[in-house]
A and B are shown apart, each in its own frame.
Chain A
């Protein structure tokens, strides 16, 4: 059985091909202004990587992500919340809580033993605690996203950053820079501010171990470290790129629906 999953997010597009229960190809690219085009580009690249001749070789494709309705070749769509839960749980069946941090939103999902969603919360409708926030901070500090993420850059005394609004937080960071605070403490402060917001969301749903992070920002090692320490719980490292969790979940749903 060969199926596809396509996750069109606000910032990146992801496609995976799963053959007989194994991820055989995947592709991540920056979202274009057209969700349909992003989907096509991502899936074409995955198909090429899987050495398939065309998209028709896939028996079923499911779309997910904020652009899920615009994936031209998907027969069905499922919300990214269900897909992230499914994908993360499939990669590591002990997972019961998923924190998905994408480009423009973050969500905490409580996952059942079967990989379905028991409960979820999402952030308010703004960029606080998402990839866009980190992009703004990296710009203010001129350090790139790698600079925010690097474990070597996590200063021991995180500067308090009280503002969750990315626009105001940027001014706050600029003030800290001008006042001569250590750059590394500013960076750990930025990660701590997002981790603190995420930890409130996790507490709202109720933390059940094990916990994994998915979405693009799960690659921010500084954030993972800070969240892990705030919740006093280890964060499971998923065996496959966690940014693909949504697309993998979508492909798994496709396989499940075919099997029925």
Chain B
């Protein structure tokens, strides 16, 4: 991906986003550190950090096919877990010591079963677990996840021999809150008429935050924000676009949208604003309670959770307004039923109570294929606004 950004920090981020293993992880391993892989944005990284791990959010970056994984998945499974599994079966996750799965959706949940049977031996993980994330949105569900997080805490303490104290968890919360606030600050720059960072570049910066030690990332992100403050902005675009969707870690997808003239200025994505728009409550005396509340309730949720669509929709509307958005693209991995229905609802809600904001549902595969079809849809979408 070409970039105008002249920043050493951005180059580091591009390296981290463009591969699974990167030099920052290598440096961590060289110092004797251990890495824990986790799925989705609902696993409390803070517990992993308190246990001494470097949390790494699982991706299939670099995968080119799903030949090995398709022995255990079917072609109508989501391509994200299939590509991740394929990388696992090729032994691309040998840098992991632990793997934390979650029942985020059924496709992703099945990674756990397949990992235990087929990928564990190849990659040499020594601890695997699956967390049970509540399906509904509410106070009782916070209690449920509170227990789940404590269970993870106990099991990790047993496995690592590290005492996971409240203070250590509080420290991790504080560090991650700092990180989230900085990511939000980066997004604030995109409110400008000529944002100094494109949507594709912003995604690079966010993905990198899930693949390197947090303190190092914070240092680099501060540097990037400083570098961008006086940088030349992006102009000449046809429309300001907001992306709404799920697992998207490939900047090239956004690049295609931007090449057509749609500058992506914000998002409600889980490698995006939903990760950092809200902070964990540091005033709460029980840090596990604070985490449970944050991951289940406080943060904009994923549509796999029942009962929170109105709040998600409000979040989308608010960001669209704040970032002066002209149109919304709902991105979805093919076969994702959660996002399919969510996009129908979003489209309807925008028509009824969203000032008729233009909306395009745009499917994709995890590995970018069918670029021509994506281009045609985006071009036509932009034409509906300008012709």
What residues of chain A have their CB less than 8 Å away from a CB belonging to chain B?
66, 78-82, 105, 116-122, 124-125, 253
Contact = CB atoms under 8 A, between A and B. Distances in A.
B238 to A, nearest CB: 13
14 contacts: A66-B376, A79-B379, A80-B380, A81-B376, A81-B383, A82-B380, A82-B387, A117-B383, A119-B384, A120-B380, A122-B376, A122-B377, A124-B334, A125-B370
B372 interface: yes
A79 B379 CA distance: 6
B318 interface: no
B150 interface: no
A170 B376 CA distance: 29
Given A116-B384, A117-B383, A124-B334, A79 B363 contact: no
**Ordered nearest first, which 6 A-B pairs have the shortest CB separation?**
A81-B380, A79-B380, A79-B379, A82-B383, A117-B384, A125-B370
Contacts of B334: 124
A124 B384 contact: no
A172 B384 CA distance: 40
Given A82-B387, A124-B334, A124-B363, A117 B380 contact: yes
A78 B383 contact: yes
A99 B361 CA distance: 18
A79 B370 contact: no
Contacts of A124: 334, 363
Given A78-B379, A78-B387, A80-B380, 10 more contacts: A79-B376, A81-B380, A82-B384, A82-B387, A116-B384, A116-B387, A117-B383, A120-B380, A121-B361, A124-B363
Contacts of A117: 380, 383-384, 387
B77 to A, nearest CB: 16
SS class of chain B's interface: helix, strand, loop or mixed? helix
Interface in B345-387: 361, 363, 370, 372-373, 376-377, 379-380, 383-384, 387
A79 B387 CA distance: 11
Given A66-B376, A80-B376, A124-B334, A118 B384 contact: yes
Interface string B283-297: 000000000000000
A105 B377 CA distance: 12
B346 to A, nearest CB: 14
Contacts of B363: 124-125
Contacts of A82: 380, 383-384, 387
A125 to B, nearest CB: 5
A80 B380 CA distance: 8
B376 A125 contact: no
Of B334, B370, B373, B387, chain A has the most CB atoms within 10 Å of the CB of B387
Of the listed residues B372, B373, B377, B380, the one surrounded by the most CB atoms of chain A closer than 10 A to its CB is B380
Contacts of B387: 78, 82, 116-117, 253
A81 B384 CA distance: 10
A120 B384 CA distance: 9
Contacts of A79: 376, 379-380, 383
Contacts of B376: 66, 79-81, 122
Nearest to B363: A124
A214 B372 CA distance: 21
A252 to B, nearest CB: 11
Contacts of B372: 66
B333 to A, nearest CB: 13
A66 B375 CA distance: 10
B383 to A, nearest CB: 5
A33 to B, nearest CB: 15
A66 B380 CA distance: 12
Nearest to B361: A121
A124 B373 CA distance: 10
A250 to B, nearest CB: 12
